[in-house]
Amino acid sequence: VNIDKLHQPLGRVKQDELVTLTRNLSSMMKAGLPLTRALSVIERQSKNIKLKDVMKHIREDINKGKQLNEALAQFPKIFSDLYIAMVRAGEEGGQLLDALETLSIQMERSSSLRKKIKGAMIYPSIVIIVMAVIGVLMMIYVVPSITVTFKKINVELPMTTKILIATSDFMSQHSILVLVGIVGVVVGFGAFLRTMIGKRISHYLVTRIPVIGGIVKEVNAARTARSLSSLFKAGVDVIGAIKITEDVVQNVYYKAILAEAAARVEKGTQLSEIFIERSNLYPILV
């Protein structure tokens, strides 16, 4: 039994591994190694079983006469449309090395930006989770002890206090049901966010939340500018670059702007005009 084959379906290629692959491929080709030789080196030195298998297939396809972009296109879950388009443009223009160098720089910057965003969101996420846990524990264990005091006093309580006590009683008497309900709400909310309606609502809200909204706008503007810049530098035509960038940005409203931009630029409209009309999402600097 081939152990590598058993592990292959479970493997995945991380973004950092793809960045390293691209940088190393560019460096080896710059040093004069043939493409197949460079791929063979990456295959042998990689510790990721999935990546080893992918590099092997790509190298074999190139030996059979395929171009690099055609071999990469067989693995869309690993190599994005942006990645494949830049490699294709580099091969067609005889500037594959330049395309790979530009791509590696773009990916490193995108990876760095992604890590900074995750780092910035860790603290508020932890605070919100801790607050939620403390709130549930207080409702189950603290409020019932206070309720006993209220009952001894035997006075008419405000409606808000009655609601709080009733909620606490329900949560303390049905703890398992409450926990199951919380898990169900979280899972259901996650599933809702993956629907188109959920995406439109959540993406609309995140662009208008104080502080977070500004970060979201800056991130999407940065992705747009960086992707277009890299694609133009690689020699991709304007319409093709805009359509590929549409796949790069995650927010549905930015996708809609770029879809409109591709259609209008094709008819002669300047790209800057579309961005000016959407200055509520794209900063004036862009």
Please report how many Cα atoms fall inside a 13 Å half-sphere around the Cα of residue 221, on the Cβ side: 18
CA distances from 104 to 1, 143, 237 (A): 37, 56, 20
Do 184 and 156 touch, CB atoms closer than 8 A?
no
Token code pair at residue 277: 């009309």
pLDDT tens digits for 130-150?
998 898 888 888 888 888 777
Please name which of 273, 275, 270, 274 lies closest in space to residue 285, comparing C-alpha atoms.
Answer: 275
Q: To the nearest whole percent, how much of the chain has pLDDT over 70?
A: 96
Q: Measure the CA–CA gap between 38 and 36, rounded to whole angstroms.
A: 5
Higher pLDDT, 1 or 28: 28
The overall average pLDDT reported for the chain is 86
Statement: residue 15 has pLDDT above 80? yes
Statement: residue 164 has pLDDT above 60? yes
Beta-carbon contacts of 204 under 8 Å, excluding residues fewer than 6 positions away, are: 253
Q: Measure the CA–CA gap between 239 and 268, rounded to whole angstroms.
A: 11
pLDDT tens digits for 212-239?
888 889 889 988 998 888 888 888 889 9
Statement: residue 33 has pLDDT above 60? yes
Which residue matches tokens 């020699």? 235
Question: Burial level of 271, CB count in 10 A (0-12/13-18/19+)?
Answer: middle
pLDDT level of residue 7 (50, 70, 90 thresholds): very low
Task: Taking residues 114-128, report their average pLDDT.
Answer: 84
What pLDDT score was predicted for residue 44?
Answer: 92
Higher pLDDT, 265 or 4: 265
Backbone torsion region of residue 154, taken as left when φ is above 0, otherwise alpha when ψ lies between -120 and 50, otherwise beta: left
pLDDT level of residue 3 (50, 70, 90 thresholds): very low
What pLDDT score was predicted for residue 154?
Answer: 74
pLDDT tens digits for 56-72?
999 999 999 999 999 99
What pLDDT score was predicted for residue 179?
Answer: 85
Backbone torsion region of residue 32, taken as left when φ is above 0, otherwise alpha when ψ lies between -120 and 50, otherwise beta: left
What pLDDT score was predicted for residue 234?
Answer: 80
Q: What angle do CA 95, 100, 102 make, to 5 degrees?
A: 95
What does the DSSP assignment read for 7-61? HGGG----HHHHHHHHHHHHHHHHTT--HHHHHHHHHHH---HHHHHHHHHHHHH
What pLDDT score was predicted for residue 8?
Answer: 46
SS3 helix, strand, coil % of the chain, rounded to 5? 80, 0, 20
Residue type at 231?
Answer: L
Q: Measure the CA–CA gap between 206 and 121, rounded to whole angstroms.
A: 13
Q: What angle do CA 123, 128, 134 make, to 5 degrees?
A: 125
Q: Measure the CA–CA gap between 229 and 5, rounded to whole angstroms.
A: 39
